[in-house]
Amino acid sequence: MNNGLHGRIALITGGSRGIGAAISRALAENGAAIAINYREGADQARKLADELVKTGASAITVQADVSQADAVAKMIQLVKYQLGEIDILINNAGIAITRGIDTLSEAEFDQTIAVNLKGVFLCTQAVLPMMRAKNWGRIINISSGAARGAGAIGPHYNASKAGVEGLTRGYAARLVKEGITVNAVAPSLIETDMMKGQESLVSRIPLGRFGRAEEVAKAVMMLIDNSYMTGQTVAMSGGMSFN
């Protein structure tokens, strides 16, 4: 274990599987205490927490729907009580409802914005007092290549992720003098449960394979380590697009 983050408390929303789980593991390997948020799938979250504890890390699970302000407030208080004040927030929780422009409903649009965008706002607002008190904080928002490209999920998803990158810049500009950096990572076509059955999409990737959740986690760790980098989005697309 690298103890570079020893004493730091990290909350990872949607942290029990896929990219979130890879980030949870990377943070634990670097000495941070981990709070794994989940909305459903308590068993999977608990299994990951047990795995991390066996490596010597501190890890807890905490259930919350990040689109609900009351649930977020309770989650933050529980993490503070069990682990301490949060230093690192990874806004990873999200949903991806695939719809075309003629089949997308208002309810699906609202749900996507509530989880993917409002959830980032609610969690960020909730942790800021703790970070400001320490004059140190790291907030990493998981965006998507769909924030700038067409994507395959639908315009509601495009809008939610473009909004995430807007929030990233907006918070970064206003927190830059308070020791808090805010950045985003925008992966495209990462090998997670969402990509099962979508192997044909590999043909779109110049690198010739899906990205790996662990590679996204490495980009997140780079942003946490770099105190001079804020307001930026790191794109990970295997060469499909360039900033």
- Residues 84-139 pLDDT 10s: 999 999 999 999 999 999 999 999 999 999 999 999 999 999 999 999 999 999 99
Better-predicted residue by pLDDT, 204 or 160? 160
Please report which confidence band the pLDDT of residue 192 belongs to, taking 50, 70 and 90 as the band edges. Answer: confident
In this structure, the strands spanning 88-91 and 137-142 are parallel
Which residues pair with residue 183 across a beta bridge? 140
Q: Are 110 and 95 in contact (CB under 8 A)?
A: no
Please report which confidence band the pLDDT of residue 195 belongs to, taking 50, 70 and 90 as the band edges. Answer: low
pLDDT value at residue 172: 98
Given a cut of 90, whether residue 236 has pLDDT beyond it is no
pTM listed for this prediction = 0.94
Q: Is 181 helix (H, G, I), strand (E, B) or coil?
A: strand
Torsion of CA 173, 164, 222, 39, to 10 degrees: 130
Please report which confidence band the pLDDT of residue 194 belongs to, taking 50, 70 and 90 as the band edges. Answer: low
Given a cut of 70, whether residue 2 has pLDDT beyond it is no
What percentage of the chain exceeds 90 in pLDDT? 82
State the Cα–Cα distance between residues 12 and 14, nearest whole angstrom. 6
Please report which confidence band the pLDDT of residue 146 belongs to, taking 50, 70 and 90 as the band edges. Answer: confident
Short-list 88, 235, 232, CA closest to 173: 232
Given a cut of 60, whether residue 1 has pLDDT beyond it is no
Which residues lie below 8 Å from residue 11, measured CB to CB, with a gap of 6+?
Answer: 35, 37, 62, 75, 76, 79, 86, 88, 89, 90, 123, 127
CA 157 to chain centre: 15
pLDDT value at residue 243: 65
Q: Is 81 a catalytic residue?
A: no
Domain 9-236, what fold? Rossmann fold (3.40.50)
Residue in the structure block whose two tokens are 């689109």: 67
Q: How do the domains of the chain map onto residue ranges? A: 9-236
Short-list 163, 167, 208, 168, CA closest to 189: 208
Q: Average model confidence (pLDDT) for the chain?
A: 93
Annotated catalytic residue, options 38, 81, 157, 228? 157
Please report which confidence band the pLDDT of residue 196 belongs to, taking 50, 70 and 90 as the band edges. Answer: low
Q: With helix as H, strand as E and coil as C, how does 126-152 read?
A: HHHHHHHHHCCEEEEEECCHHHCCCCC
Q: Is 31 helix (H, G, I), strand (E, B) or coil?
A: coil
